[in-house]
């Protein structure tokens, strides 16, 4: 991939976002996304490979256009959920993980898992119903399995980069040279949402996101600041030189029992959904 060309394309996208008179009409349905959060939380704790997660995966797959499973080699019972809108390659990947922590007991992962997954599913539906340019880039939506390590909390695992991120690592290995940009949604649904640039996230792509958010009236959610560097499902993409960004509010208590649906906000879900949808519609023309 020609990184110089990619940076130049993103610069043009930023200019395209300037001077918008008013936000475009809403295209993302936060009510449908919210219902998918409720569906996931109602399933209870959903560790990778568990019966409840596998049942849930079928319901999520069936809500995505052309949704299908991709097995994760070497991880029996684990599978990514993938939906692809055809187009030119390399394309765009929008992803989130849909498994939850194995502890603490009773953890339902409303924000750490369910919110990002719900937005990704609804984005796939919304984009599939929109008119797309004749020469649009391919857009792939992925729900990653096995993001959380099988033994406990990521912060307690010195080898998290290998024990976790199982779905994203498998996807990158299975689809080399197919991705031009990657957008990851993690803690994206909480009240008081603030999403500074995660410390390792690609700067030009992040700036393109902020421009897209400004065009839909949501730039305040994405402050012009840099936050903590985090190992997450965007990391395997970065390691293969794919520009990737991680949308994550690291101030949120996402590894505790506080992570319940009462901590989430439909307003935050809508802000992220509209912003990412606008970004993807710009990128697919690049």
CATH code, 220: 3.40.630.10
Do you know the residue count of the chain? 286
Q: Model confidence at 2, in pLDDT bands (50, 70, 90)? A: very low
Any domain includes 21:
no
Q: Model confidence at 145, in pLDDT bands (50, 70, 90)? A: very high
Any domain includes 157:
yes
Task: Report d(CA 80, CA 174) in Å as an integer.
Answer: 12
The model's pTM = 0.91
pLDDT > 80? residue 109: yes
Any domain includes 19:
no
pLDDT of 159? 82
pLDDT > 70? residue 31: yes
* Cβ pair 36, 121 in contact under 8 A: yes
Any domain includes 107:
yes
pLDDT of 160? 87
Average of pLDDT values for 191-200?
98
pLDDT of 238? 98
Task: Tell me the HSE value of 248 on the side-chain side, using a 13 A CA sphere.
Answer: 26
pLDDT > 90? residue 153: no
DSSP the chain: --HHHHHHHHHHHHHHTTT-SSPPPP-S-HHHHHHHHHHHHHT----TT-HHHHHHHHHHHTTSTT-EEEE-TTSTT-EEEEEEE--EEEEEEEEEE----S-STT---IIIIIIHHHHHHHHHHHHHTS---TTPEEEEEEEES--S-SSS-GGG-TTHHHHS-HHHHHHHHHSTT-EEEEEEESS--BTT---PBPTTS-HHHHHHHHHHHHHTT-GGGS-S-B------TTHHHHHTT--EEEE--TTS-TTSTT-SGGGB-HHHHHHHHHHHHHHHHHHTT-
Range of the domain at 262: 3-13+28-283
pLDDT of 156? 79
**Which of 33-42, 93-102, 143-152, 268-277 has the least mean pLDDT?**
143-152
Any domain includes 109:
yes
Give the Å distances, CA to CA, from 181 to 91, 138, 203, 234, 282: 7, 11, 12, 10, 12
Q: Model confidence at 80, in pLDDT bands (50, 70, 90)? A: very high
Any domain includes 274:
yes
Average pLDDT, whole number, for the chain? 93
Any domain includes 79:
yes
pLDDT digits (tens, 9 = 90+) for 202-241: 999 999 999 999 999 999 999 999 999 999 999 999 999 9
Number of domains in the chain: 1
Any domain includes 23:
no
Neighbours of 33 (CB within 10 A): 26
Task: Report d(CA 228, CA 208) in Å as an integer.
Answer: 20
**Which of 5-9, 80-84, 257-261 has the least mean pLDDT?**
5-9
Give the pair of three-digit tokens for residue 24: 């475009």
pLDDT > 60? residue 6: no
Task: Report d(CA 189, CA 218) in Å as an integer.
Answer: 14
Average of pLDDT values for 71-96?
98
């Amino acid at each position: 991939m020609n990184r110089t060309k990619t940076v130049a394309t993103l610069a043009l996208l930023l200019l395209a976002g300037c001077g918008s008179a008013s936000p475009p009409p809403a295209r993302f349905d936060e009510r449908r996304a919210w219902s998918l959060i409720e569906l996931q939380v109602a399933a209870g704790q959903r560790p990778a490979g568990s019966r409840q997660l596998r049942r849930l995966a079928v319901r999520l797959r069936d809500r995505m256009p052309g949704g299908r499973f991709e097995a994760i080699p070497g991880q029996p019972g684990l599978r990514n959920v993938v939906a692809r809108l055809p187009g030119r390659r390399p394309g765009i990947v929008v992803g989130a993980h849909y498994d939850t922590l194995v502890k603490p007991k009773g953890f339902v992962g409303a924000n750490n898992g369910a919110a990002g997954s719900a937005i990704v599913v609804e984005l796939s539906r919304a984009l599939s119903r929109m008119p797309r340019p004749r020469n649009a880039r391919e857009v792939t939506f992925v729900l990653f399995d096995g993001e959380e390590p099988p033994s406990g909390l990521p912060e307690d695992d010195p080898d998290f980069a290998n024990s976790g991120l199982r779905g994203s690592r498998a996807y990158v290995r299975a689809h080399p040279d197919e991705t031009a940009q990657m957008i990851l949604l993690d803690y994206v649904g909480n009240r008081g949402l603030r999403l500074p640039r995660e410390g390792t996230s690609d700067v030009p792509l992040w700036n393109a996101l902020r421009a897209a958010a400004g065009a839909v009236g949501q730039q305040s959610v994405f402050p012009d600041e840099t936050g903590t560097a985090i190992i997450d499902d965007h990391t395997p993409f970065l390691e293969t030189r794919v520009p990737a960004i991680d949308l994550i509010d690291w101030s949120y208590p996402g590894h505790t029992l506080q992570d319940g649906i009462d901590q989430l906000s439909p307003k935050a879900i809508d802000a992220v959904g509209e912003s990412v949808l606008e970004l993807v519609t710009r990128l697919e023309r690049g």
